[in-house]
């Protein structure tokens, strides 16, 4: 560790020197624009050409992948998304990403694949950790302290090591080498965590260094790891170690360009996710953690004391190195976690994208993320009912100081005939971290209300009756009508609604004694149209329409919820549960339409899992599939 201590001292010395950060960034960008691959001389011999070909084809030695596509400091969060529908429900301990699929390690349950049309168990057992190979053909995972591989094509697993082979110390944090021939892992020796490497073909292990969280760098004979809250580069050929930064849990991207890690700062201590080039020429903070009231274990706020609202664990890069998956831990009187996907882009978000991101955060019930779009505290935002079910950006403008975005937000009560359109003008001001919302002005408030005998339209408080139920040409045999949901499409002046019709005088929603109808009312012609009069639901909990009025989605109000999508041109009806491969979900709940794609979540194996339905292709995906 002498090299590490020396490099650490040099690192502290370098940090004490004054640096012109603006000039540094300008030189950095100029360097990346001008850098080109070297040209080979025309006089190169045939033997040398063959040698170069071998080097280029060898993953360990190719250096092309170590050149970042853009500097890490140029990347910005463009979107974030929680993989958990319910806060505190996340039960996995690790995940891996591969070709549009996620693999979850869930203790005492098994190893699960989450991808197009499925969330299913592929290995049973007490699985605590998982990683995918660079060529996407194999997984490595830990089950009850033993190391296994899983062939994704053959769907077979193989035990590689037992804890007994590493002197009865439990194996942790395995990761593949770029060539797929070795696996680095962590075990504890004399109460000190150490990194070891398994030669798969030979079945032998050797100690590499002290530390945790090993992550190989593609294109180099090197790995980045953590030791004593320092991020360290290990040259596996020379055996030298270099301290890169303070931090923990490093994760190198698949192309070897970037490293993500968690870093602590301040007093009280706050930790955030950072990204850097693997050579650490640039780096930047990705998340913006906040201080919050400190809580005791009984649920009481500790007066005069603050703590970080969140901590973070296990950052992991996506295949394309443009997204990060991170475990985000919330600390109040209870501790609970969720997996967040952060999407990264070189370009900063436009004002329209900022407003769209804010409204989507409300739709996903992520209050903390919604607040991140403001340069002031907007107070409590999301509400419980009515809840946001959609939005539309309608206009944009700017003056010499600010940009303005007009947007409509659509809200609906669950299981009740109420629909609202709030038209808002958002003022956005550019800052050092891009645009932030600096003001909101409500321009118009439209409400559609259904009661026992009529439906009304209210604009900024001015109400009028649209129709009464005795205007509805219902069949004589039905004794009672119960309005369930309403959705209003303003530009076409149409109302879509679900109504329970029963021949039972008490009006109970018994499927054998009634039916749910899906209907449209044209406000211009004052005509009713029935889309479906035999929907076998016990009622509807939600009804949402896409902005282009091509599709509507309806959610059953029963406990084992089903959801259906109608094509308004062809009148075709699709049950979302029929789109799943293998095991059918226990329930399916719709969330919102986004550019003709329906986001929904399904209950599978005790977990609510998000999917998208693509009606043009009649299939479902996860939204992060390639």
Domain boundary among 282, 315, 345: 282
Given a contact cutoff of 8 angstroms between Cβ atoms, the answer to whether 598 and 609 are in contact is no
Residue 348: is its pLDDT beyond 60? yes
Reading across the β-sheet that carries 127-132, which strands appear in turn? 127-132, 138-143, 146-151, 156-161
pLDDT interval class at 330 (50, 70, 90): confident
- 3-state SS assignment for residue 264: strand
Given a contact cutoff of 8 angstroms between Cβ atoms, the answer to whether 602 and 580 are in contact is yes
State pLDDT tens for residues 140-162. Answer: 999 998 999 999 999 999 999 87
Per the structure, the count of domains in the chain is 2
pLDDT interval class at 27 (50, 70, 90): very low
Q: What pLDDT, on a 0 to 100 scale, did the predictor assign at position 308?
A: 85
Q: What pLDDT, on a 0 to 100 scale, did the predictor assign at position 304?
A: 80
The backbone torsions φ and ψ at residue 533, rounded to the nearest 5 degrees and listed phi first, read: -110, 5
Q: What pLDDT, on a 0 to 100 scale, did the predictor assign at position 52?
A: 33
Percent residues over pLDDT 70 in the chain:
83
- Indicate whether 324 belongs to any domain: no
CATH code at position 205: 2.120.10.30
Structure tokens at 44: 């190169």
Structure tokens at 266: 């301040």
How far is residue 549 from each of residues 208, 391, 487, 593, measured CA to CA in Å?
60, 13, 11, 11
- Indicate whether 62 belongs to any domain: no
Domain boundary among 227, 250, 282: 282
Average pLDDT of 562-569?
A: 95
- Indicate whether 14 belongs to any domain: no
Q: What pLDDT, on a 0 to 100 scale, did the predictor assign at position 473?
A: 52
Average pLDDT of 330-345?
A: 86
Q: What pLDDT, on a 0 to 100 scale, did the predictor assign at position 481?
A: 75
State pLDDT tens for residues 122-139. Answer: 999 999 999 999 999 999
Residue 11: is its pLDDT beyond 50? no
More confident residue, 617 or 481: 617
State pLDDT tens for residues 251-288. Answer: 999 999 999 999 999 888 899 999 999 999 999 999 98
Q: What is the CA radius of gyration of the chain?
A: 28
Percent residues over pLDDT 90 in the chain:
60
- Indicate whether 457 belongs to any domain: no
Q: What pLDDT, on a 0 to 100 scale, did the predictor assign at position 471?
A: 65
Average pLDDT of 564-574?
A: 94
Q: What pLDDT, on a 0 to 100 scale, did the predictor assign at position 355?
A: 97
Average pLDDT of 32-41?
A: 38
- Indicate whether 308 belongs to any domain: no
Average pLDDT of 394-422?
A: 95
Residue 474: is its pLDDT beyond 70? no
Mean pLDDT of the chain: 84
Q: What pLDDT, on a 0 to 100 scale, did the predictor assign at position 31?
A: 35
The backbone torsions φ and ψ at residue 578, rounded to the nearest 5 degrees and listed phi first, read: -75, -10
| Alpha-carbon gap, residue 129 to 140, rounded angstroms | 8
Q: What pLDDT, on a 0 to 100 scale, did the predictor assign at position 30?
A: 40
More confident residue, 15 or 106: 106
H/E run at residue 62: none
Task: Identify the top-confidence range among 112-116, 167-171, 434-438.
Answer: 434-438
State pLDDT tens for residues 299-315. Answer: 778 888 888 889 999 99
Given a contact cutoff of 8 angstroms between Cβ atoms, the answer to whether 620 and 613 are in contact is yes
Task: Identify the top-confidence range among 207-216, 373-382, 604-613.
Answer: 207-216
Q: What pLDDT, on a 0 to 100 scale, did the predictor assign at position 169?
A: 57
Partners of 149 in the beta sheet? 140, 158
Residue 9: is its pLDDT beyond 90? no
More confident residue, 361 or 453: 361
Domain boundary among 282, 316, 351: 282
State pLDDT tens for residues 50-107. Answer: 333 333 333 333 334 444 478 999 998 888 888 877 666 788 999 999 998 999 999 9
How many distinct helices (H) and strands (E) make up the chain? Answer: 5, 44
Q: What pLDDT, on a 0 to 100 scale, did the predictor assign at position 331?
A: 78
| Alpha-carbon gap, residue 103 to 132, rounded angstroms | 9
| Alpha-carbon gap, residue 139 to 176, rounded angstroms | 9
Structure tokens at 247: 């931090």
More confident residue, 228 or 63: 228
Residue 167: is its pLDDT beyond 60? no
Q: What pLDDT, on a 0 to 100 scale, did the predictor assign at position 336?
A: 85
Q: What pLDDT, on a 0 to 100 scale, did the predictor assign at position 129?
A: 97
| Alpha-carbon gap, residue 340 to 355, rounded angstroms | 20
- Indicate whether 162 belongs to any domain: yes
Q: What pLDDT, on a 0 to 100 scale, did the predictor assign at position 163?
A: 59
pLDDT interval class at 24 (50, 70, 90): very low
Residue 537: is its pLDDT beyond 90? no
Structure tokens at 179: 């060539």
Average pLDDT of 164-179?
A: 79
Q: Which domain holds residue 485?
A: 472-621
Burial of 444 (0-12, 13-18, 19+ CB in 10 A): exposed
CATH code at position 563: 2.130.10.120
- Indicate whether 322 belongs to any domain: no
Structure tokens at 422: 């709030």
């Amino acid at each position: 560790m002498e090299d590490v201590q020396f490099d650490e001292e040099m690192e502290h010395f370098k940090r004490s020197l004054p640096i012109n950060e603006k000039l540094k960034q300008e030189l950095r960008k100029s360097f990346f624009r001008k850098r080109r691959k070297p040209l080979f001389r025309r006089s190169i011999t045939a033997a040398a050409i063959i040698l170069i070909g071998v080097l280029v084809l060898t993953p360990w030695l190719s250096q092309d992948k170590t050149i970042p596509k853009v500097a890490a400091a140029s990347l910005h969060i463009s979107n974030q998304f929680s993989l958990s529908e319910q806060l505190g429900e996340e039960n996995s301990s690790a995940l891996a990403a591969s070709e549009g699929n996620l693999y979850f390690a869930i203790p005492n349950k098994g190893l699960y694949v989450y991808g197009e049309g499925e969330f299913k168990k592929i290995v049973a057992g007490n699985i605590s950790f998982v990683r995918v190979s660079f060529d996407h053909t194999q997984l490595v995972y830990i089950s009850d302290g033993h190391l296994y591989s899983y062939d994704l094509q053959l769907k077979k697993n193989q035990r590689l090591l037992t804890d007994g082979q590493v002197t009865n110390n439990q194996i942790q944090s395995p990761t593949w080498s770029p060539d797929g021939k070795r696996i680095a892992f962590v075990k504890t020796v004399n109460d000190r965590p150490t990194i070891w490497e398994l030669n798969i073909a030979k079945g032998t292990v050797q100690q590499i260094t002290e530390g945790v969280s090993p992550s190989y760098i593609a294109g180099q004979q090197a790995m980045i790891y953590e030791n004593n809250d320092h991020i360290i580069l290990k040259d596996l050929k020379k055996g030298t170690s270099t301290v890169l930064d303070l931090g923990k849990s490093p994760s190198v991207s698949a192309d070897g360009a970037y490293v993500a890690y968690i870093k602590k700062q301040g007093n009280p201590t706050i930790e955030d996710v950072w990204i850097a080039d693997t050579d650490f020429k640039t780096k930047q903070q990705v998340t913006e953690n906040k201080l919050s009231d400190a809580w005791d274990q009984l649920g009481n706020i500790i007066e005069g004391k603050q703590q970080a609202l969140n901590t973070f664990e296990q950052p992991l890069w996506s295949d394309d190195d443009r997204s990060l998956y991170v475990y985000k831990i919330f600390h109040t009187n209870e501790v609970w976690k969720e997996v967040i996907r952060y999407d990264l882009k070189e370009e900063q978000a436009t004002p329209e994208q900022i407003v769209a991101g804010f409204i989507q955060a409300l739709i996903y019930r992520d209050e903390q993320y919604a607040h991140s779009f403001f340069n002031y505290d907007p107070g409590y935002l999301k509400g419980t009912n009515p809840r946001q079910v959609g939005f539309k950006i309608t206009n944009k403008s700017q003056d010499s100081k600010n940009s303005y975005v007009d947007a409509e937000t659509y809200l609906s009560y669950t299981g009740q005939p109420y629909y609202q359109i709030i038209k808002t003008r958002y003022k956005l001001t550019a800052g050092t971290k891009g645009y932030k919302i600096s003001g909101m002005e409500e321009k118009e408030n439209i409400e559609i209300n259904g009661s026992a005998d009529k439906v009304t339209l209210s604009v900024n408080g001015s109400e009028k009756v649209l129709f009464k139920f005795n205007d509805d040409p219902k069949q004589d045999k039905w004794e009672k009508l119960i309005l369930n949901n309403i959705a209003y499409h303003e530009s076409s002046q149409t109302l879509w609604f679900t109504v329970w019709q029963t021949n039972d005088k008490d009006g109970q929603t018994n499927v054998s004694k009634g039916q749910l109808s899906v209907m449209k009312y044209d406000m211009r012609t004052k005509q009713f149209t029935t889309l479906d009069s035999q929907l076998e639901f016990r009622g509807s909990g939600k009804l949402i329409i896409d902005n282009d009025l091509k599709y509507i989605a309806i959610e059953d109000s029963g406990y084992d919820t089903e959801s259906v999508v109608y094509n308004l041109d062809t009148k075709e009806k699709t049950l979302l549960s029929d789109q799943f491969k293998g095991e059918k979900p226990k329930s399916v709940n719709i969330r919102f339409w986004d550019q003709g794609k329906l986001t929904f979540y399904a209950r599978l194996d005790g977990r609510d899992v998000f999917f998208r339905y693509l009606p043009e292709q009649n299939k479902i995906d996860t939204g992060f599939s390639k």
